[in-house]
A and B are shown apart, each in its own frame.
Chain A
Amino acid sequence: EAQVTQNPRYLITVTGKKLTVTCSQNMNHEYMSWYRQDPGLGLRQIYYSMNVEVTDKGDVPEGYKVSRKEKRNFPLILESPSPNQTSLYFCASSPYDSYSYEQYFGPGTRLTVT
């Protein structure tokens, strides 16, 4: 089954404790992206990657890191989480058809930072 998977689905952590949220896709998509969803704000892009070893900042990159060492994986790293990073996070991938840009989303990771 074609899908984007994220782990963990739920995470409660404390301020300053480094964490990683994994994202993997099995559709051989070049493009992957991370978003955060907050009430009333829709989805905002954190980072995206056009291909292996190519990453770029989205609209809200502060406090986050990413890496793209393999085509299928795109982990999101919070090196020193803070309470304002409490949010619902989505990973997405896209085949990057130049006429479409449609994206496939993972199920989400709900992060709480206390």
Chain B
Amino acid sequence: GDSVTQMEGPVTLSEEAFLTINCTYTATGYPSLFWYVQYPGEGLQLLLKATKADDKGSNKGFEATYRKETTSFHLEKGSVQVSDSAVYFCALSDRDTGGFKTIFGAGTRLFVKA
């Protein structure tokens, strides 16, 4: 079945450092890929998405490119801020019987120090 694997955390960085959170997936179809972010005490919110191979999703300085050849969707940001401290979830969604199905990775917690 479909699955999502993302790097374990926590990841601790200093402010203005470069961020990479790795995400790889397995899927039988042609899924859409997402990064969701969860700030402390809140629900998940969509950070960015890509719906087909070679698409690049971007938002708030974060980027991720849908790489079908390596089945990856790594999240990057050139200069992190303290306010980026959160848990980041990689996810895929694909058409399924009766609707669509979403598989989430385990989440990666990011701490950014001032």
CB distance from A71 to the nearest CB of B (A): 15
CB 8 Å contact bits of A4-38 with B (1 = contact, 0 = none): 10000000000000000000000000010101000
In the assembled complex, which residues on chain B have CB atoms less than 8 Å from the CB atom of A41?
106
Q: CB within 8 A of A50: which of B43, B49, B98?
A: B98
Q: Interface range on chain A: under 10, 10 to 19, 20 to 34, or 35 or more?
A: 20 to 34
Identify the closest chain A residue to B98 (Cβ).
Answer: A56
A50 neighbours in B (Cβ, 8 Å): 98-99
Which of B34, B42, B51, B89 makes the CB contact (< 8 A) with A99?
Answer: B51
Residues of A within 8 A of B (CB): 4, 31, 33, 35, 40-45, 48, 50, 54, 56, 58, 90, 92, 94, 96, 98-108
8 additional contacts (CB under 8 A) given A31-B100, A102-B49: A45-B101, A48-B99, A56-B99, A98-B95, A100-B32, A101-B32, A101-B100, A105-B44
